[in-house]
Amino acid sequence: MSNIVGTNELAKILGVSTRSIREWANNGCPIEKRGRKGDGVGHQFKTSDVINWLKDRAASEAVGNNPDAQSAEDAKRRKLVADATLAELELAKAKGLIAPLDQIERVMANAFAEVKVNMRNIPHRVVMQLLGETDEVRFKEVLTSEIDQALTALAELELTDEV
């Protein structure tokens, strides 16, 4: 079943931007009914026609029939850039300037665990200080001080991968 939809709805259906839809329309995408710029009425598209056009376009690109497809020279250039980028990453890794993602995740997990412990201990630390207290300003001072203490402990935490 095919629907007739506007640019915005087609963009939502296909998960692309409205700009992409407009570019496709300028590059041969089938338009069921052309819009009028001055009246603010946009193009109307038949979804099945657009999907078939996209499939045909992808097939053409896959076999190299698309003039927009990259040339062999472009592919070589991209490979050189990729090789250079990989070499730079390996050098940075050897110098200790970058860390593997799993190591960063472990360090961050330890830091968040420290924050959790400090924040969850605030009620235990302040209960006696605030027992019977009715002054809102005093409440805020004590709680702010405890939160600052927890954040200071986090700032002073040695962020290493060692457990």
Residue 24 is assigned to a structural domain of this protein: yes
Question: Is there a contact between 126 and 142 (Cβ–Cβ < 8 Å)?
Answer: yes
Asked whether residue 162 is domain-assigned, the answer is no
What is the Cα gyration radius of the chain? 30
pTM above 0.85, yes or no: no
Residue 163 lies in a domain: no
| Count of domains observed in the chain | 3
Which pLDDT belongs to residue 135?
92
C-alpha span between 24 and 75 (Å, rounded): 24
**Residues 15, 58 within the same domain:** yes
Q: How far apart are the first and last CA of the chain?
A: 59
Flag whether pLDDT at 72 surpasses 50: yes
- Flag whether pLDDT at 130 surpasses 50: yes
Average pLDDT value over all residues in the chain:
84
Same domain for 93 and 107?
A: no
Four-CA torsion 100, 104, 109, 112, nearest 10 degrees: -170
Handedness of CA 13, 18, 23, 28 (dihedral sign): positive
Which pLDDT value is given to residue 163? 44
Residue at 125 is within a domain: yes
53 occurs within a structural domain? yes
Dihedrals phi, psi of 36, to nearest 5 degrees: -115, 120
Range of the domain at 87: 70-98
The torsion region of residue 84 among left (phi > 0), alpha (psi -120 to 50) and beta comes to: alpha
pLDDT tens digits, one per residue of 34-69: 888 777 788 999 999 999 999 988 887 776 655 555
Is 99 in a helix, a strand, or coil?
coil
Average pLDDT of the segment spanning 1-9: 83
